[in-house]
């Protein structure tokens, strides 16, 4: 099937393909029934918003899945995501607080289980003060217009200390005098509340949530909105909806950089971030052993696939230091990430040791760069932060270097 000429998918071609899907309520195809709320296409990534209401969301789930399968099979489509969305009357929308509410488990936008996303994606692309990726030069509604640079801290697998790196990177940048935000994009396993010592809910002013602040960093996490032990039993569209709310319905204000602690892997959250904001770049965290490096390569390739620059790689748990005698042991090997960065022709941003004080400081809600600024670990994190900032300045000159020399 041709979708708009060549292998590049177009909204018109995708809309035509979706006529093969039937609306069970009207018997018409979903296009003729007026259920297509928006189609967004960028670099082979397709996102479609499918109109429904809360009462019929469960019945529309098979339709959503069928549309997603159909689109994913089309030439030129790298990944397809179809989400269910519901429109509210203007008056009701103005009165409703678009926050994640807790009722047994959280629902984005006050929604119900069943995969729907309320206040879902808007048609068209987006950009912020940094460079726009994809090379199409499309102008669209601004998302996070006052954020000069957005940095995703990611890993191909869990357990490599990605959140520890993200938190200390953000705090180190703030201690350098930059205006910094930190978004916890790990919906299933949020760790920011514990690592930053924050246990209160954000305030809501009008239709916006106010980020919490710790160590000079503005923070937002799904963990601020639910109890710590509440499992997030959500399908992909609900994860995407929650992320969009924490991006677009939070008063971030003017920031030099927003650090995003990504969940492990290459799934819905990564695609949502790549599609809904213009990421300035990604930092990939890995431990030195081969099995972790395999997953790190997948992370690098994923960001390259969606045209997000990889700022560099960080080797976490690079070596172990005995707290008693200072003996150094390379438990997971050493230098693997540096070698991998050289092989992939990307920058090596630094190595961070595995020491007890990093873990105890994180559990206590005090990042090591603030708890023990003269420790070797804090110095290592600051070196990584300085390397990331230097990369951002080279990519987004408008951010203006404000590096403080010790």
Contacts of 183 (CB under 8 A, 6+ apart): 219, 220, 221, 246, 247, 258, 259, 260, 261
Q: Which helix (H) or strand (E) holds 351?
A: strand 348-354
User: 125-146 pLDDT, tens per residue?
Assistant: 333 333 333 333 333 344 687 8
What's 403's DSSP letter? P
The CATH number of the domain holding residue 314 is 3.40.50.300
b/e string for 73-104 if b means 16 or more Cβ within 10 A?
Answer: ebebbebbbbbbbbeeeeeeeeeeebbbeeee
Question: Where among 48, 63, 87 does a domain terminate?
Answer: 87
Q: What is the pLDDT of residue 16?
A: 94
Same-domain pairing of 160 and 81:
no
**How many folded domains does the chain comprise?**
2
Identify the domain containing residue 312 by its residue range: 150-399
Residue 130 vs residues 3, 91, 106: alpha-carbon distances, Å: 31, 35, 33
Residue 333 has pLDDT above 60, yes or no: yes
Residue-level pLDDT at 267: 67
Which of the two residues, 53 and 24, has the higher pLDDT score? 24
Strand 212-214 with 36-42, pairing: unpaired
The most confident of 231-240, 345-354, 395-404, by mean pLDDT? 345-354
If asked whether residues 228 and 309 sit together in one domain, one would say yes
In terms of domains, do 170 and 82 share one? no
Q: What is the pLDDT of residues 1-27, one digit of tens each?
A: 334 444 678 889 999 999 999 999 899
Span 35-40, average pLDDT: 85
Q: Is it the case that residue 102 has pLDDT exceeding 60?
A: no
Of residues 207 and 353, the one with the higher pLDDT is 353
Give the end of a domain, one of 66, 87, 108: 87
CA dist., res. 349 & res. 388, Å (int) = 7
Structural domain contains residue 317: yes
Q: What is the DSSP letter of 108?
A: G
Mean pLDDT along residues 294-309: 83
Calpha distance 316→165 (Å, rounded): 8
Residue 362 C-alpha from the chain's centroid: 21
Residue 16 lies in a domain: yes
User: For position 183, what pLDDT does the model report?
Assistant: 95
Quote the DSSP letter at residue 73.
T
Is the pLDDT score of 112 beyond 90? no
Query: How many CB atoms are located within 10 Å of the residue 272 CB?
Result: 25
The answer to whether residue 272 sits within a structural domain is yes
Q: Name the domain boundary from 40, 64, 87.
A: 87
pLDDT in tens, 138-168: 333 446 878 999 999 998 767 788 899 999 9
Query: Higher model confidence: residue 318 or residue 104?
Result: 318
Neighbours of 189 (CB within 10 A): 14
Domain assignment present for residue 376? The answer is: yes
What pLDDT score does 13 carry?
92
Could you tell me the pLDDT band of residue 170, with boundaries at 50, 70 and 90?
Answer: very high
Residue 6 belongs to some domain of the structure: no
């Amino acid at each position: 099937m041709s979708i708009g000429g060549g292998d590049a998918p177009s909204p018109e071609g995708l809309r035509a393909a979706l006529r093969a899907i039937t609306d069970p309520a009207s018997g018409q195809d979903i296009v003729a029934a007026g259920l297509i709320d928006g189609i967004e296409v960028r670099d082979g990534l397709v996102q479609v918003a499918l109109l429904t209401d809360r009462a019929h969301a469960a019945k529309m789930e098979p339709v959503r899945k069928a549309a997603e399968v159909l689109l994913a099979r089309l030439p030129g489509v790298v990944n397809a995501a179809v989400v269910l969305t519901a429109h509210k009357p203007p008056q009701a929308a103005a009165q409703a607080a678009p926050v994640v509410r807790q009722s047994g488990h959280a629902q984005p936008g006050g929604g119900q289980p069943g995969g729907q996303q309320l206040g879902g994606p808007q048609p068209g692309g987006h950009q912020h003060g940094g460079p726009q990726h994809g090379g199409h030069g499309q102008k669209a509604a601004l998302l996070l217009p006052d954020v000069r640079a957005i940095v995703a801290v990611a890993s191909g697998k869990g357990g490599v200390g990605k959140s520890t790196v993200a938190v200390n990177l953000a705090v180190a940048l703030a201690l350098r005098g930059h205006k910094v935000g930190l978004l916890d994009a790990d919906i299933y396993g949020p760790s920011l509340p514990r690592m930053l010592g924050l246990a209160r809910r954000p305030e809501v002013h009008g239709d916006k949530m106010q980020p919490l602040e710790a160590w000079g960093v503005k923070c937002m996490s799904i963990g601020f909105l639910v109890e710590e032990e509440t499992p997030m039993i959500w399908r992909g569209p609900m994860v995407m909806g929650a992320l969009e709310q924490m991006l677009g319905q939070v008063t971030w204000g003017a920031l030099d950089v927003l650090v995003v602690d990504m969940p492990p892997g290459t799934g819905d959250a990564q695609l949502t971030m790549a599609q809904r904001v213009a990421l300035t770049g990604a930092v990939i965290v890995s431990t030195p052993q081969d099995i972790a490096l395999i997953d790190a390569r997948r992370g690098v390739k994923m960001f390259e696939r969606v045209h997000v620059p990889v700022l560099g790689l960080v080797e976490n748990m690079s070596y172990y230091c005995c707290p008693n005698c200072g003996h150094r042991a390379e438990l997971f090997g050493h230098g693997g990430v540096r070698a991998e960065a050289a092989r992939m022709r990307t920058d090596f941003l630094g190595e961070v040791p595995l020491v007890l004080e990093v873990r105890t400081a994180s559990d206590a809600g005090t990042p090591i760069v603030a708890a023990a600024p003269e420790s070797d670990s804090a110095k290592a994190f600051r070196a990584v932060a300085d390397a990331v900032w230097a990369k951002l300045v080279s990519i987004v000159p408008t951010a203006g270097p404000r590096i403080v020399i010790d």
